[in-house]
Amino acid sequence: MNCTLCDSKLTMRVGQKYFVCSTCDARLMDSKFRLSKKTEKKHYETHNNDVNDRRYQKFTSPISNYVLENFNTESVGLDFGSGTGPVISKVLQDSGYLINQYDPFFAPDPNALQIQYDFVISCEVIEHFYTPCKEFEVLKKLLKPNGKLICMTLLYKEDLDFENWYYKNDPTHVFFYSEKTVDFITDKFNFKSSEVFGDRMVVWEN
């Protein structure tokens, strides 16, 4: 199997189901353990994501707050992978922002992918990418010059015990990023810059 981000041959394993990429530092699931698309969708449908849930709004607030602080209501954004409960879209729309939504299962609107945006948000989505090389190409093209891609995903750090790391236990989480992986993506896709906030939010500038 080759890395689904950088296409390097994968030889190092961690546990039974995962590989470590020596080129881009990603951890990724062996493809033979991935769920079918039908099973994957059923798993997402079990998520009880209520857009009015204050705890859910708080969890996603790093992205909402970043947009509120860095963009005005004349900016147009896309919620990529908006899921069953597009809470960030609701929070921003309630503040006067125009946000389109795209999700391959729950909002599969191809027209949303035909324009460019001032910002694209993707909350707890990029760890689900089966082919991150293709998905990041799409995300890059969706941004206007100087536009920003704002993602939330829990980053892997070297001091973590991967085999006991809870974040990998979701069967739909198939690709895990470290700060080195973030840097690799910045270079590979010619982003102007990237910035990591804490252990869960990354912003790339086009």
pLDDT, tens digit (0-9, with 9 covering 90-100), for 32-65: 999 998 999 898 888 667 777 778 789 899 999 9
Reduced to 3 states, what is the DSSP secondary structure of residue 94? Answer: helix
Strands, E assignment, the chain = 12-14, 18-20, 27-29, 76-80, 98-102, 117-123, 143-152, 175-176, 193-197, 201-205
Distance CA 174, CA 38 (A): 16
How far apart are the C-alpha atoms of 50 and 16, rounded to whole Å? 35
Q: Which domains does the chain have, with CATH numbers?
A: 12-205 (3.40.50.150)
pLDDT, mean of residues 85-101: 95
Segment 117-145 mean pLDDT:
98
51/28 Cα distance (integer angstroms) = 30
pLDDT band at 84 (very low <50, low <70, confident <90, very high): confident
Residue with tokens 């954004």: 77
pLDDT for the residue 48? 63
Which is higher by pLDDT, 171 or 57?
A: 171
Mean per-residue pLDDT, 178-198: 98
Q: 61 near 82, Cβ under 8 Å?
A: no
What's this model's pTM, rounded to 2 decimal places?
0.95
- pLDDT more than 70, % of the chain: 98
How large is the average pLDDT for residues 98-112? 96
What average pLDDT does this structure show over 64-84? Answer: 96
CA 33 to each of CA 40, 67, 75, 172: distance values in angstroms, whole numbers, following the listed order: 12, 36, 40, 10
Structure token digits, residue 75: 């900016």
Kindly state the percentage of the chain with pLDDT values over 90: 88
DSSP 86-136: -HHHHHHHHTT-EEEEEBTTTB--GGGGSS-EEEEEEES-GGG-SSHHHHH
